[in-house]
Each structure stands twice: as structure tokens, then as C-alpha cells.
Structure 1
Amino acid sequence: MASPSKRGLCWPTANHGQDEVHTFTRPGSKISWLYNWSPDATPNANSLDYVPMQWNHIHIDDLASKAKTANATAVLGFNEPELPDQSNMSVELAAREWLRCVEPLRKAGVRCGSPGISSAPQGVVWLKEFIGRIRDRGSDVGFYCFHWYGVELGQFYDYLWSTYYQMPDQTKKVWVTEWASTNWDKDNPLPKEHVEAFAKTSAEYLDTLEWVERYAWFGPMRDTAFSLFPDTWVAAQYKADGTGPQSDGHDGLQKLGNLTNLLHPLYPYHTAMHPQTNAICA
């Protein structure tokens, strides 16, 4: 198996105050890095490598100073800019702001990840056009960032390979900065056993791919309002001590029981799933 340094957290800033990310830095942890959809560093991340993200073009002039404050060696580009309900940026706008505020970081030696595209068909089209445009101006991305949501392993693998080989340079690595198994049906979600097996098997597969440098499963969050999905669709509870939570009904989660050692030794913490979600903290 490849180095566990691939394994990371997409850690919402809303988690701070409920859960502390430093619990994942204890001895034996296989988590090595995190990002939080923001250029502001997560408090108490200890040994985890924090990677700032410039979610859209708002306040992009602050990116360089925040990356410097965080001692960042890499930054992540815009979040799903091809989608109206995400950063919603035209290629023209994204390229202009990249050249203005991200390119100076690249010239200073910071690795600059591409905008993270969704697995919707327009994602790869958008990214290819974006890369072409910044390359024409002497810039480039340092690595490619892909997201994927769907049901079956084969669909995920096909997406990864086909999208990677549509990129202009296969010497560059891929970061899978969001992925999960979901059918988007809150009334008839996928069985939790399917999602557990998918998470474990797909992450182990990513470990075997030399061109996948890092990955982060979506997602370890309690605050469903921040989860980028409608409120009753996504939530995850977790503890690092392996005991695992069982809802008493006061937090809006139904009792599902312990999913002890769900992904052990893949990830060294316990998770529980919302009854109306297919995303797990993994």
C-alpha cells in the first residue's frame, strides 16, 4: 500500500468549537493534511499540513498573505467554478484572477492546485479551457483537483482515469479533494453497508495509483447547514477514541449504532451516519 500521507480531511471551519482537528494528530494517525474551503488556517491542526483554498474570487487579494502566514507549500484553486451553486465563475473571470493573484504564488514556489471541478460533464470542459487559457499566458497549475459523487466503484474509477487522461500533462499529480458514494435520494438512500464498503475499497485503490497524490473523503462534519447539501441530507459524527456516538435524538440524528473500526486501519477514527445521508466521515 502507498504511503498514508495521501489521506486528508476536508474540514469545515464550522467544526471548530464542536470538534477539534488535533484529535486526528495523535500517535498512529494516518491523516497527514487538511483543507477547509478557506484561506484561513484551521486552529490547533498541529502536525497536519494545512492547504489554503481560494474558494472564489472574493478577497483573493488576501490569498498571498494568508498563504504566507500559514507557511503553505500548496494552495487549492476555486471550488467547482462551473456550477452556479458553487463558486460560479466563468473561465474568463477565473483565469484573470488566477493570473493576477495565484500566479505570483506559483512563481514564488508554491504549488497551485487547479480549480476543483465536479464530476458533472461540464467540469472537465471548464477545466480544460481554463488551463489552456492560463497556459497561453505563461502560467499553469501544479496539480489537478477532482471531485466525484455517484454510486458505484466502476463509475468512480472510470471518471478518474478518463478525466486524468483528458488533462494536458500526465506528469502532474491528481488530488481527489471530495468524493463519496451517494444516490442523492434522501428518502431511499444507499445502504450504509454499501457506503462503508465503497469508502474503504476506493480509498485503498487510490493508494495504489502513483498519479493520485492526495485525497479527502466528504466529509467529517456535524453542521449539516455547512455541508454544501440541503440540511437533512448530510451529517457525520465521529470520535477519535473509537467509542463512537449513538444519538439520543437531541441532535437530529436517529440512532444507528456503532460502526466500530469502520475503516480501520484506513482511517483511525470512528464514524456514524445520518439516516438520510450517503456521505460518511471516513
Structure 2
Amino acid sequence: MGDSQTTEDQKHPGKAGISWPIQERTSDPIAKFFRPGSKLTWHWNWSKHWKGPLVPETSPDLDIHAEFLPMVWSPELVHDGNSLQPGWKLLMGFNEPDHYDPAVARKISPRDALPAWIEMSKWITEPDQKLVSPAVAGSVDWLKEFFSLIPPHTKPSYLAVHVYTTTFDSFVRTIENFWDTFKLPIIVTEFAMQSFDPNVPGPQSQQQVHDFMGQTTKWLDETSYIFKYSWFLACRDSYHLHGVHEYNRLMDRNAELTPLGRQYVNGGHE
């Protein structure tokens, strides 16, 4: 029984992963999310590698047994001199190119983003290497224009999606709209119980977020066109939450998993 279960798990690995900010300068705390028994299978940090000069305080002997998805979060970083993490299979495109935030996003038109995207596509040299689309902050029109401009051979294999909302129904509606529009398997690279609409209050209790995580992760796991997903966010410094309510934290300031973090590691809804 044990061997057959192992084989089945290998054929159908879990979808859930971890996002964490490279600005914390070390990957060491993230290893706590991948201890034996964890349901998590991948991680990303808005950058090109988790072990190298961009994360200089990482322990040299750190080993994380999980897939890492590198990202080129801004077009100018195509030529920044930093290399992708060896062994990568999925390469993520630009972060919120429809939005300006000096720390995490560079607003750029689809046409101006095109040369960097074409250059990135040249890094695909193996059959199992794939591109993941830019993840917009909210503008489906930006993505529509982007897809209308890129050469067919550079079309991404997966669509990256961000969802910030406070109800399960609006969460599902938002993702269904992306699916109906682009018909590409989806990687929900950021989601949390948070709205950036000033008229929509954030979560009123920690339990609300536990419940929201339970509903959303169950739906994501059961929805066939969802390929991967990662909750926002695992970090020590609250600054890196970028306005997302503290109730959504997966890690506390001492680099220990919060109760919500433990729920996520254990499957989110199980």
C-alpha cells in the first residue's frame, strides 16, 4: 500500500507553494515549510534564484527539496548579470506590469515589454522548460494586448494570476474570468484575504482568514485548470506584506510558522 501511494503522489504532486521576499536576503527560513510531511511542493521569491548573490545570507549548505520557479520581475532585469537557478523548468514573466510600485513592480506597456519577453523566450532550450505569463495586478486588457503582440512561438504555457479579495465567490469569479478569457492552465502566484479597494474592509478576525484559506485551497485543488498556487506571504518583516493584513501571515517575525502557516503546510483545507 505504501509503495503504491508513493507512486500516486509522485504522479500527482501537490499544487501548493510558498512565496517569500528575496529582500529578506536569506532563503534559510523557507526550509521550515518543506519539512517531512509538508504538502507544499514549490517556492518562488520574485527573482532568479534562491541560492546565489541575490540572497547572500543564505547558508551555503542549505538544501530545500522543492521546485523553485525563477522570475524576471521587471524587463530590464533580463540583462542584470544574474543567472537563473540551475535545474529550472518554469520561468515566470514580469510582476504586475500594469501597476507601479518602486519595490516590486515597474509599470510598462505591453509593446515596451515585448523585447525583453522575446529575449526570455530564447532561454527555453529544453522540451520541459516552459514560460509563465506576466502576472497583472488587475488589468485583463494589458494581458490581451500582450498576447496580441507576442510572436506565436513565445506564447506562454501557463497564465500567472493574482487575486486579492475577501470573499470566496469573488475569488472564484476572478479566476474563472481569466480562464474564460485566455484558456491557459493557471498558476495563482499571489492570493490572500485582502482587498485593495478602500471601500472593502479587510478581514475582521484571524478565524476569517483560516476559513477563507480552507475554502479557496479546496477549490484550487479540485479545479482541473489550476496548475499551481501560492498564498501571499511568508516573511519576517511586515514591510514585505505591502499592505496585506497581518492575519494573512504564514510566518512570524521570528521566522516561525504561524497557525495559518501550519494550516497551509498541512494542505490548507484538510
Same topology, TM > 0.5: yes
The CA distance in 1 between the partners of 2:178 and 2:116, in whole Å, is 24
The CA distance in 1 between the partners of 2:15 and 2:220, in whole Å, is 9
Specify which of 44, 47, 67 is matched with residue 65 of structure 2: 47
The CA distance in 2 between the partners of 1:186 and 1:237, in whole Å, is 26
2:161 partner SS: strand
Q: Is the 8 A contact 1:186 1:233 kept in 2?
A: no
Residue 92 (str. 1) matches residue 111 (str. 2): yes
2:151 partner SS: helix
The CA distance in 2 between the partners of 1:259 and 1:147, in whole Å, is 20
2:123 partner SS: helix
The CA distance in 2 between the partners of 1:9 and 1:96, in whole Å, is 30
Q: Is the 8 A contact 1:222 1:235 kept in 2?
A: no
| Paired residues for 1:91-240 under 5 Å | 91-99=110-118, 101-109=119-127, 110-118=129-137, 120=138, 123-135=139-151, 138-167=153-182, 170=183, 172-184=184-196, 189-191=202-204, 192-229=206-243, 236=249, 238=251
The CA distance in 2 between the partners of 1:259 and 1:160, in whole Å, is 23
Counterpart AA for 2:144? K
Q: Is the 8 A contact 1:76 1:112 kept in 2?
A: yes
Residue 58 (str. 1) matches residue 76 (str. 2): yes
Q: Is the 8 A contact 1:224 1:234 kept in 2?
A: no
* Stretches of structure 1 lacking an aligned partner (at least 5 in a row): 246-257, 269-282
Q: Indicate how the Cα distance of structure 1 residues 95 and 143 shifts in structure 2: closer, same or farther if over 3 A, else same.
A: same
1:220 partner SS: coil
1:20 partner SS: helix
CA deviation string 1:174-217 (max 9, x = no partner): 10000111244699642222221111110111000111010000
The CA distance in 1 between the partners of 2:225 and 2:267, in whole Å, is 19
Q: Is the 8 A contact 2:233 2:250 kept in 1?
A: no
Specify which of 72, 96, 102 is matched with residue 88 of structure 2: 72
Residue 10 (str. 1) matches residue 19 (str. 2): yes
Q: Indicate how the Cα distance of structure 1 residues 140 and 153 shifts in structure 2: closer, same or farther if over 3 A, else same.
A: same
Q: TM-score, normalised by structure 2?
A: 0.78
The CA distance in 2 between the partners of 1:236 and 1:186, in whole Å, is 22
**Once the 2 structures are TM-superposed, how far is the Cα of residue 135 of structure 1 from its aligned partner?**
3.3
Q: State the aligned residue count.
A: 241
Q: Is the 8 A contact 1:14 1:223 kept in 2?
A: no
Counterpart AA for 2:38? S
Q: TM-score, normalised by structure 1?
A: 0.75
Percent of paired sites with the same residue: 23
CA deviation string 1:85-129 (max 9, x = no partner): 222111111112111x211023544211000112x3xx2110111
